[in-house]
Structure formats: structure tokens, C-alpha cells
Amino acid sequence: MSMAATQVVRSEWTKIRSVASTVWTLSLAVVVTVAFGMLISALAKNEFGSMDARGRLSFDPTFISFAGTGLGQLAMIVFGVLVVANEYSSGMIRTSLAAVPQRGTFLFSKIAVATALALVVGMATSFLAFYLGQAMLGDLKASIGDPGVLRAVIGGGLYMTLITMFSMGVAAMLRSPMLSLAVLMPFFFLVSNILANVSATEKIGRFLPDQAGSKIMQVVTPVDDDTPYGPWGGLGIMVLWVIASLVGGYVVLKRRDA
């Protein structure tokens, strides 16, 4: 990395670190993911005795401990959007681009720093959610050494990182925090779940970034699951979505004035 690029990265790190909302959103992602995962794990332990044979066959203690990821990812989305779009809403983008005329370097540095931070937080959250969730499951718990479990736990951290990156790409395209959140929140919280759970659209829904990516956190395949890809295939689909959003963000930044 050149000296100039290193300085841009350092500048972006200072920007991200100095915004209070960064700390709040990342902290919220950890707390919500872990707490909700523990709650669902505790409920699952109580319900296990009354499950039928089909339910017990599909019982996935690892995946259950990640039940809070759906809520935690909303905080990661907010973080990703604010990192990119806050400069547009505050007007700081003009100053930033005057200081760093190479727009690709500017955007790459911002995304690289935020991604590194999201990866650290995502991994810490994933391991914490797993261990505390398993503690709630008691004798039903999985061990990190069981087949597929370490992959699922590392995958949980990668999933939260990729969600953040996808959000940054969308924010770079839309250039507004409010507009980006107005698109991303309903998409992940409502639209994606509806498409994936309605029989007429489930084959489309399973190729959306969150539905495909979350497959990496599964260890036990549900009895009636006919998904045409495995855990890494699902994560690969999510990576393609992320690349598309980041390329879109880069194209918009290159072509439009600040």
C-alpha cells in the first residue's frame, strides 16, 4: 500500500472512531445478537421434551444460538449505512473528495476500515452467541469440535461482516442515510422473510443475500430442506450480492458529483 493510501486509511479510521453512533450501533449488534440467542436457546431447551420426532431430527443447537442474528444484523446495517452516507448528509463529502481526489482510493479505504471493524465485532459476537447460547441449552448443547460447528460459528462472523459491506455499497449508491435505511430495513426485516416463506416465491427468496448467507450458520439440515446449495454455496451467493452492491456504489461515486 502506498504512503498516500495508508494516510487515507488512517484518516478513515479516525473518522469512524470519532463518531459516537459507531460505538453505539456496534455495541447494540453484540448485545442484541447474544441476548436474543440466549433467550431462544433457553426456550428451545424447555420445548425439546414436547417436540415430535421430526422436530428433534431437525434440532440444531448451533443455529439456535444464532437466533439473534436477524436482529443484530439491523444494527450492522445501520453502522454500514452511517459510515458511508453520513458524509453526504453532513456535506463533508466535498471536503473528503477535495482531500482525496482518487475516488476509488477514498471509497476502498472507507470500506476496508469499516469491514475490518465489522469483522472483529462480528467474530466476537458470533463466538459469544455460540458459547452463551450453548450454556443455556445445557445437555442439548453442541461442542465447538463437533462436525460443522466451527465452520458455522466462523460463518456467523463472516455473515455479519458481509451484511455490513452490502449496506455500505447500497449507501454509496443512494447517498442518503434515511433513504438507504428506508430501503434496507424493510428489505431484510420484511420482504426477504416473506419471499422466503411463501411457497410461490420461496425459490426466489432463497437466493436473496441474507437467506443464502445464513445457511453458513446451519449445522443440521432440516428434514424438509430442498435448498439447492450448501453452507459455502450460500455464503458464495451472498458474496456475489456484496460485490454487486460495492461495484454499484463505486460506479455512482465515479460518475456523479459530490
3-state secondary structure of 121: helix
Separation of alpha carbons 133 and 66, rounded Å: 8
- The residue with greater pLDDT, 169 or 226, is 169
**What's residue 85's pLDDT?**
86
Q: Is 141 within 8 Å of 62 (Cβ atoms)? A: no
Whether pLDDT at 158 is above 80: yes
Whether pLDDT at 98 is above 70: no
Tens digit of each residue's pLDDT (9 = 90 or more) over 215-230: 999 999 887 788 899 9
Reported pTM? 0.91
Domain borders along the chain are 3-255
Instruction: Identify the CA nearest to 28 among candidates 125, 123, 101, 117.
Output: 125
Whether pLDDT at 258 is above 60: no
Tens digit of each residue's pLDDT (9 = 90 or more) over 186-210: 999 899 989 988 888 988 999 999 9
Instruction: Identify the CA nearest to 117 among candidates 209, 183, 41, 26.
Output: 26
**What's residue 89's pLDDT?**
65
